[in-house]
Structure 1
Amino acid sequence: MNGLASALLSLAHSLFGPGFCPGDWVWATSAAGALVALLPPIGAVAVSIIRKGTGNRYDATTLSVFGAIGMVSTLVLPWLLAIGVSGVFQAAYGKKPTGLSATELSSLNSEGGCWVDNQREYLGGGQTVFDVLSSQNGKDMPFFVYLLAFIVLGAGSLFFVMLQGRTAFRRGPKWPSRFFWIPFAAMLVFSVGMEANTALHFWLGFLPFTVLGLIPVAMVGPPPWSVINRSDRSDEPPPRRQPELPGPPPSQVQPRPTPPPPPPPPVNRPYPKTALASAPEPPSPPLGALAAAPGPIPPPPGSRNAGGSRYRRVKQLGAGGFGTVWQAVDTQLNRTVALKIAHAPDRDTAERMQREARALAVVSHPNCVKVYDLAEEPDGLALVMEYLEGRPLAELVDGQGPLDDVAAGRLWATMAGALAAAHEKGVLHRDIKPSNIVLDPSGLAHLIDFGIARSQGDSKMTATGMMIGTPDFVAPEQAMGATASPASDAWQLAATISYALSGQPPRGTRETPMAALMAAARAEPVSRLPQRSAHARLLAASLDPEPRRRPTLNAVRREVEGWLSRAGKSADGPVTRVVPRQPGSGLPRR
């Protein structure tokens, strides 16, 4: 290793060895430290390149590779070279073989200037770092100079090596960065055997280049979201296999007839494949099975025995093209509910309301509105839902202005969790927009109006003339007629967060809904993103026109919660404080 260290010193002397104070070899020692400081960034760049293909897949192979790269680039090679450089100067002082040429040894034996009388003695004939720290007495400089220099230079170098590791592991958990900073911390401890003056000038050259080493690591960039999403899916546990029952030896097993094909999966399993067109659709559950709270089973729609209503209406909350929403009181359970009563309850309307009830009944999340029942009212079929006191996000932003980064981050993380819970049940929302997010008086967000939600196993039923989604907040693939997916919901949620931060849809506003729909179908670039927001880059990635390149909702939640944690904020705090409305003004729910 002394041969490699002497070659490093010769190279450093030829690159930067000016003949002024404190001497050419003193400067060459700092240059050698700068060259050694290139090793951790090289390792971080290698990790970044590997993660372009592996993403966040941390199995035994990738962990072994990353651990080996971190160990070699931050501990083994830097420590051997640092100790070797010090050993070359100590060998020169003791007149032992060094690997340097006669000309280099002659210049090393010259005067350096300033406080350095002889460079060979200054760099090789003093105390080691351990001797200086243990005796608290310096030979060429006061002890406090050595102590301050070693603390500042060592801690600074450790900090920037840690940043290099964290940069290499962007868009993923931060714990793998320990492969870089823990070995480097060990390298600092092991280097106490260096000659004190050599170590001082070595670390003076090392620290600035650890700062510059962040640049190439950052330029490589994180792995694309498509790779991260693929690695996240690969980490999901495989389905549990049934244990094999003991039986006779294979030679005694009688041949069995080929078993019939297995039945299709249930409707509400996460992301089941749609059944073949020729397969019969499973019968819908009875309406009474949709109830999430105790109560009498309502008669089926269209029955003449519906009788009077158990729900006493208090006031109308809102009305739209689909129907009317009322605040009502359940006279049997004595609780306030919201009644969503459809206009013109034809067969398609009834199917749509049953689909919404099924979607909400299987989703259990504190930030999703709850469904209690599906009842036959005298004036039409009614969906009985949880009553939320509060205001829609759209009204709040229009009236009080955009949210700040902390409030928007909490909103994003909360709604991403709610949607992920729905997706795990195979339910897509398909119409996420600011008016479908309600903030209650405590500032907590709730996702409402699953009116066009559909389980992935349901048939594609759409009312005539009904547009799937809102044009300003519809994903490009939905506008082009493609099948909705979890990535479509993720796009709509990101568009809603962008609106909450800027006060306008990400593609801007159009004069007519048809113009907005055409802009979405053409996948026009988003031009109204909040550029000054801390979430701007994640928003741009989530609003990518290509669904496979978008981060999943779980990845978004991890990123946003990590940002909130680094900002010292809780992810489950209130989005904002909402002042309840005056009596007589209810929550319009569409």
Structure 2
Amino acid sequence: MESFASSLLSLAYQLFSPGLCPGDWVWATSAAGVLVALFPVLGAVIAAIVRKGTGNRYNTATVSVFGGLGVLFVLVLPWLAFTGISSVYRAVFNGNRGGLTSAEAERMRVEYCFIGQQSDYLGGGRNVFETLFYYSGDALAYGYYLGALVGLPALSLLFVMLQARAAFRRGPAWPGRFFWLSFVAFVVFSVGVEANTAVHLWLGYLPAAVLGLVPVSLVGPPSWAAIKRSQQEPERPPPPPEKPPPYVPPRQEEPPPPPPRQYPPTSVAPAPEPPPEPAPALAAAPGPVPLPPGSSAAGGSRYRRVRRLGHGGFGTVWEAVDNQLGRTVALKIAHAPDRDTEERMAREARALAALNHPNCVRVYDLVEEPDGLALVMEYLEGQALATVVDTVGPLDDIAAGRLWATMASALAAAHARGVLHRDVKPSNVILDPGGLAHLIDFGIARSKGDSTMTATGMMIGTPDYVAPEAATGAPASPASDAWQLAATVSYALSGAPPRGTRETPMAALMAAARAEPPSRLPRQSVHARLLAASLDPQPRNRPTLDAVRKEVEGWLARVGKSPDGPVTRVVPRVR
């Protein structure tokens, strides 16, 4: 330990020993503190590099690596350096060289300004424990040591924690405890260091800890692709084939018993009753449900249309009443659909009917109406997110975080069912009277136009919220839905689409196809960094919806908010 410390001291003396007051070896001690502070920085850099490949995979191996880095580079090596340097100075004070050269040891006996001999100042006083816990009677000196020996380590702890947080970005924060808990242990174990030596070591350690944030940040977090790979469960090996059971020869069946003897009917033995007739088979489909009071079928249709909610290039949406069940539904009728449209509507209607998510609009049925194929959906009372932002104003970070986490969960559930939305935008997010968000219009309404679909917020084909790859004609993907959701959240925070507005839909579509960078992001929002990553022009670089949901929910938990709360309070419309 002494040889390690003497080598470190000699290096620091060669690097910085100006020979000014309070002394060349005092300055060299602060330079040694700078060198010691590089150990935690090196450990954080190695941890950040390891996470480039492992992402957020925390198994026994990776946890052992991160724990070892924290203990070795933040606790063991700095503690050996601090205690070893103090031992060298005590040895020189006692007349030995302490591992230094004769010339270096002789220079320590030179007197400087107010400290006297450097060997006495650095190696002949009380240690940290004695200085802090045994009051010397000098209040000014005690305040000086208290501020230096407690305040400087406390500030250094703050920046060691920031280094660890930078090394474990885009992931859980708990692995950073390996670093800052090791630092706390290092401070506690260093109470035997000579007090003056510790003061000057900490004076060098603190600025190096501050600057150490730069190399850790330059390494950068792992890519979202690496995080996605780490979150995927490893494939389990197929189970070994089961051994066939041993051959058992078939048992000889006994001959069936003879049939009972039949007797003619007499007064003693009555005639057997005829076998009961088989029950009629159940109908393949249930019959009509009795109409509830006050309802009546109109024109032979099960659904009585109340009012038209909107009209677009794809079709018309009506508020209707189910005459059999007596409930209000939304009826979307396609205009003269071709065979491809019918097949697509049927496929997605089946998938969405099986989707059970509280924030996704429910699909009840797909029926033939006199004027076209109709999709029967849940009728949502409330206002569109676009209407709320236009009338009330942008959302704050907490409301936008709840919106993002909720909609990401809804889209991920749809993707798990093989359903892509393809048209996520502020007009397709409905906020009910309780302030909860619901996602509507799952990929069915895909139009060439840009007209408003319904008064409650359905809109078709707005190029302002089209992902760059979709604008160039590439097939839609979950990453496209993730881009559109991020654009919707950006609008909710800033009141404008991320690429800004254009004079015509064609100009907006051309801007999307050119992958113009977002110019209207909410820069002051805490979500700005995640929004920029989610709006990356390359789909492979965007975080997945699950990664976005976990990060946003983690931030909400850190600020003491639940992700399940209302996005905003909406007053129901008066009809």
Please report the TM-score for the alignment, with normalisation by the length of structure 2: 0.83
> Please, which of 520, 538, 541 is the counterpart of residue 530 of structure 2?
538
> Please, which of 472, 475, 483 is the counterpart of residue 480 of structure 1?
472
Which amino acid is 2:220 matched to?
G
Counterpart Cα distance in 1 of 2:54 and 2:479: 21
2:242 is aligned with 1:245 = yes
Paired residue for 1:225?
224
Q: 2:313 touches 2:448 (CA, 8 Å); kept in 1?
A: no
> Please, which of 363, 369, 386 is the counterpart of residue 371 of structure 1?
363
Paired residue for 2:279?
none
How far residue 110 of structure 1 moved from its aligned partner, in angstroms, is 2.8
How far residue 169 of structure 1 moved from its aligned partner, in angstroms, is 0.9
Compute the RMSD of aligned alpha carbons.
3.2
Counterpart Cα distance in 1 of 2:476 and 2:547: 19
How far residue 311 of structure 1 moved from its aligned partner, in angstroms, is 3.6
Counterpart Cα distance in 2 of 1:533 and 1:464: 34
Bigger mean CA offset, 82-91 vs 568-577: 568-577
Bigger mean CA offset, 51-60 vs 372-381: 372-381
Paired residue for 1:440?
432
Counterpart Cα distance in 2 of 1:466 and 1:526: 21
Bigger mean CA offset, 483-492 vs 568-577: 568-577
Please give the per-residue CA displacement for 1:57-103, whole angstroms capped at 9, x wherever unaligned: 33333333323222221111111111100010111122234122223
SS in structure 1 of the partner of residue 309 of structure 2: strand
Paired residue for 1:524?
516
2:96 is aligned with 1:96 = yes
Paired residue for 1:3?
3
Q: Residues 486-525 of structure 1: matches in 2 within 5 Å?
A: 486-525=478-517
Bigger mean CA offset, 472-481 vs 78-87: 472-481
Please give the per-residue CA displacement for 1:328-351, whole angstroms capped at 9, x wherever unaligned: 333444433222233335544433
How far residue 412 of structure 1 moved from its aligned partner, in angstroms, is 1.3
How far residue 433 of structure 1 moved from its aligned partner, in angstroms, is 1.2
SS in structure 2 of the partner of residue 38 of structure 1: helix
Paired residue for 1:38?
38
Counterpart Cα distance in 1 of 2:500 and 2:216: 35
Q: 1:353 touches 1:451 (CA, 8 Å); kept in 2?
A: no
Counterpart Cα distance in 1 of 2:378 and 2:448: 28
Q: Which runs of 5+ in 2 are unaligned?
A: 248-283, 290-296, 452-459
Closer, same or farther: CA 466–505 of 1 in aligned 2, 3 Å: closer
How far residue 357 of structure 1 moved from its aligned partner, in angstroms, is 1.6
Bigger mean CA offset, 530-539 vs 236-245: 236-245
How far residue 296 of structure 1 moved from its aligned partner, in angstroms, is 5.7
Bigger mean CA offset, 511-520 vs 148-157: 511-520
Aligned residues: 525
Paired residue for 2:541?
549
Closer, same or farther: CA 3–314 of 1 in aligned 2, 3 Å: same
Q: 1:323 touches 1:340 (CA, 8 Å); kept in 2?
A: yes
Counterpart Cα distance in 2 of 1:502 and 1:148: 45
Closer, same or farther: CA 464–129 of 1 in aligned 2, 3 Å: closer
Paired residue for 1:156?
155
Q: 2:348 touches 2:419 (CA, 8 Å); kept in 1?
A: no
Counterpart Cα distance in 1 of 2:562 and 2:401: 10
Larger radius of gyration: 2
Q: Which runs of 5+ in 1 are unaligned?
A: 253-287, 298-304, 454-461, 584-590
Counterpart Cα distance in 2 of 1:464 and 1:121: 86
2:169 is aligned with 1:177 = no
Q: 1:34 touches 1:208 (CA, 8 Å); kept in 2?
A: yes
How far residue 406 of structure 1 moved from its aligned partner, in angstroms, is 2.6
Please give the per-residue CA displacement for 1:486-533, whole angstroms capped at 9, x wherever unaligned: 111111111222222233322333343334333333333333333333
Q: 1:126 touches 1:197 (CA, 8 Å); kept in 2?
A: yes
Counterpart Cα distance in 2 of 1:400 and 1:213: 45
How far residue 415 of structure 1 moved from its aligned partner, in angstroms, is 0.9
Q: 2:315 touches 2:333 (CA, 8 Å); kept in 1?
A: yes
Please report the TM-score for the alignment, with normalisation by the length of structure 1: 0.81
Counterpart Cα distance in 1 of 2:139 and 2:523: 54
Which amino acid is 1:538 matched to?
L
Which amino acid is 2:182 matched to?
P
Identity %: 68
Q: 1:312 touches 1:331 (CA, 8 Å); kept in 2?
A: yes
How far residue 423 of structure 1 moved from its aligned partner, in angstroms, is 1.2
Q: Residues 132-531 of structure 1: matches in 2 within 5 Å?
A: 132-137=131-136, 142-233=141-232, 236-238=233-235, 241-242=238-239, 244-247=241-244, 308-344=300-336, 347-452=339-444, 469-531=461-523
Q: 2:449 touches 2:461 (CA, 8 Å); kept in 1?
A: no
Paired residue for 1:74?
74
Counterpart Cα distance in 2 of 1:12 and 1:296: 92
Q: 2:40 touches 2:160 (CA, 8 Å); kept in 1?
A: yes
Closer, same or farther: CA 436–214 of 1 in aligned 2, 3 Å: same
